[in-house]
Structure 1
Amino acid sequence: MKSEDIILSFAFFSQTGIGVLGNSFLICLFIFVFLSGHRMRPIDTIISQLAFINCLVLFLKGIPQMMTTLGLMNFLDEIGCKIILYLHRVARDLSLSMTCLLSGFQAITISPNNSNFADLRARAPKYLIPSSLFCWTFHLLFCSYIPWGIKGSRYTRNITEMQHNGYCSHKIPSGFQASLFATILSFPDAIFLVLMVSVSGYMVFLLYRHHKKAQQILTTCLSPRAYPEMRATKSILLLVSTFVSFYLFNCILTTYMSFVKSPPWLIHTSAFLAACFPAVSPYVLISSDSQVTRYCSALWGRKPHILTIITD
């Protein structure tokens, strides 16, 4: 085995292990907090789903890629390839839509009383579960095209019109068919991405206005709910920025690889970038979301009364 393959396998193993550990911590934390009877923020339902989706992305992308770098090229048959790639695509798209939903809900939460979102703020928590179910249903149905054109790796390595990623192969579209196919498939992603960036810009504007207001009046005159909400908003903005950065880099590589046969190093680079956000996001939330620290303190028996400060 080449030294490059050993380094790549270690990189995928480390990325998958670290990411699953962080996301599993968040999932277990929210489960324990819920079972202990403490009140939770509405956005915690989205964050817990996002953590679960991140685990799926890491398992479905990191483990097959790691096995490929170790030289296990034919461990999946055609049915296995179809299932793995379908579930990975669903999880990837859900990660985008859940991050968009998270930023949108937080923007509504911190919107001022005289804004157009004031009436929606009280009803927004009731729409979180239906919105989440809609996202799951939509992506499960929309990604049903994935199995078509997917082949196992055993008999397609020498076919020129097939793109091989080490454990599965898919047909490379050409000409007008390729452009039409890419446009249709990228349209939902573009909508979610535009919404996410627009909402993030709105939240940045609200944070700037809040900062200017805080400089003009005494902090004791401000609403006690303002600061937890603003800290949560900064945490979500950091999460969105991380997602958009990795997403755009990976989209560029994925688009290029959809039209031409790519060398192995480019395929591995794209796979590593695709799993960067799921691996990093739990640590972004743990380090920047003060409510996660409060949950940990309550479960570990330190200052349990601190959970009374909850942002709705």
Structure 2
Amino acid sequence: MLILKNVYFFQIGIGIIANAFLLVFHIYTSAQVHRYSPRPTDMTTCNLAFVHIVMLFTSLDIISAEMFKLLDFPNGLKCKLLFYLSRVMRGLSISTTCLLSIVQVITISPSSFCLSRFKCKLKKHVAIAFFCIWSLNLSSNSNMIIHIVAHSNRTNLLTVSKYCSVSSMNSVLTTLCFILALSQNVFFVGIMLFSSMYMVIFLCRHQRKSEYLHSISTFPRISPAKRATRTVLVLVSFFVIMYCVDIIMSSFSILSLKYEPIVLDIQKIVVNAYATVSPLVLISSDKRIISALQYTIDTITILHCIISESLQKCWILS
């Protein structure tokens, strides 16, 4: 149990730092209009990093007993706020990843593709998509505000965290909410799978075309489009795997009508795995970030050498 807690908090720390770095970099890059031309995927990546930061911060296990008592309003309201934000951010993580895959498909698609007409005004369409997915997730999870309560002596509660429970709902309402939530998630995951299939086909075709060029080129290179497509494909694949594992664990908890502490801890690690891994994948695959980090390291090394040399001269003169 203690090992799982340590792994969880280590995961949270790495995820917040990586997402914050990714968010700050993209904000700075977007501000440098005269130096860089922001890519359509930059807006989506920036939104994804922000969503994951809030998602990790609002993860219920982060709220210790001392922090839970620190907020000066009723425990029920704290549970409603934190659980609602957590659910909204999880939904936004799914929909934003789906949007990222769609944007990448549009970016690499040829002029004959049916979605290529959106390419000329892709930034405008992405902004509209942001408004739609935020509105959808804020409204679709609003029922949790009503049914999330703090722990009490009532027996008809389903425990979902150390401090919060879900009150019993009407069977019809429960079924309706479940169908709506499942339909929304299946819709986004389905689009991700279809976009992934298209990107795999694109990579295979690109590989066949590049084989000839590589055979006559002394220094073969991977195109930026191919690199970005591989990155999005890795993110989508990893997300789908983690989502399926989460579904299996959630189903086990719902069928048993109880969230076992160890199962809850493992599920939290699984849920936050994508929020932690995705910024690391995006950072490692972005040449602009790698170049900026390399420049920073070189600058620090030069400054260290200058300072060391100056100190050495001072020591000799003294």
TM-score, with normalisation over the residues of structure 2? 0.82
Instruction: Identify the residue that residue 117 of structure 1 maps to in structure 2.
Output: 115
SS in 1 for 2:159: strand
Instruction: Identify the residue that residue 7 of structure 1 maps to in structure 2.
Output: 3
Instruction: Identify the residue that residue 32 of structure 1 maps to in structure 2.
Output: 28
8 Å contact from structure 1 (residues 53, 94) kept in 2: yes
Q: How far apart are the structure 2 equivalents of 1:48 and 1:41?
A: 11
Instruction: Identify the residue that residue 248 of structure 2 maps to in structure 1.
Output: 252
In structure 2, relative to structure 1, the CA distance for the partners of 1:10 and 1:116 (3 Å cut) is same
Instruction: Identify the residue that residue 199 of structure 2 maps to in structure 1.
Output: 203
Q: How far apart are the structure 2 equivalents of 1:40 and 1:295?
A: 16
Instruction: Identify the residue that residue 308 of structure 1 maps to in structure 2.
Output: none
1:44 to 32, 42, 45: 42
SS in 2 for 1:232: helix
Instruction: Identify the residue that residue 181 of structure 2 maps to in structure 1.
Output: 185
Q: How far apart are the structure 1 equivalents of 2:166 and 2:30?
A: 43
1:290 to 276, 280, 287: 287
In structure 2, relative to structure 1, the CA distance for the partners of 1:124 and 1:220 (3 Å cut) is farther
Q: CA deviation at 1:269?
A: 1.4
Deviations 1:20-76 (A, max 9, x none): 000011011112223333222121111011001001111111xx31455xx779747
Q: How far apart are the structure 2 equivalents of 1:119 and 1:219?
A: 34
1:95 counterpart letter in structure 2:
S
Instruction: Structure 1: state its 5+ residue gaps.
Output: 303-312
Instruction: Identify the residue that residue 280 of structure 1 maps to in structure 2.
Output: 277
Runs (4+) of structure 1 moved beyond 3 Å? Answer: 71-76, 172-181, 216-221, 294-302
Q: How far apart are the structure 2 equivalents of 1:94 and 1:20?
A: 17
Q: How far apart are the structure 1 equivalents of 2:249 and 2:48?
A: 24
Percent identity between the two aligned chains: 29
Q: How far apart are the structure 1 equivalents of 2:20 and 2:289?
A: 14
Instruction: Identify the residue that residue 85 of structure 1 maps to in structure 2.
Output: 83
- Select the structure with the greater relative contact order (CA < 8 A; seq sep ≥ 6): 1
Q: How far apart are the structure 2 equivalents of 1:118 and 1:160?
A: 53
Instruction: Identify the residue that residue 269 of structure 1 maps to in structure 2.
Output: 266
SS in 2 for 1:230: helix
SS in 1 for 2:165: strand
Q: How far apart are the structure 1 equivalents of 2:68 and 2:116?
A: 56
1:165 aligns with 2:161: yes
Deviations 1:90-121 (A, max 9, x none): 11100110000000010011112332233332
How many residue pairs are counted as aligned between the two chains?
A: 290
TM-score, with normalisation over the residues of structure 1? 0.83
Instruction: Identify the residue that residue 59 of structure 1 maps to in structure 2.
Output: 57
In structure 2, relative to structure 1, the CA distance for the partners of 1:127 and 1:121 (3 Å cut) is same
SS in 2 for 1:151: strand
Larger radius of gyration: 2
Deviations 1:135-173 (A, max 9, x none): 1112111211111211112x14x5144324211011355
8 Å contact from structure 1 (residues 109, 121) kept in 2: yes
Question: What's the C-alpha RMSD, in Å, of the aligned pairs?
Answer: 2.8
8 Å contact from structure 1 (residues 73, 166) kept in 2: no
Q: How far apart are the structure 1 equivalents of 2:207 and 2:243?
A: 30
Q: How far apart are the structure 1 equivalents of 2:170 and 2:146?
A: 16
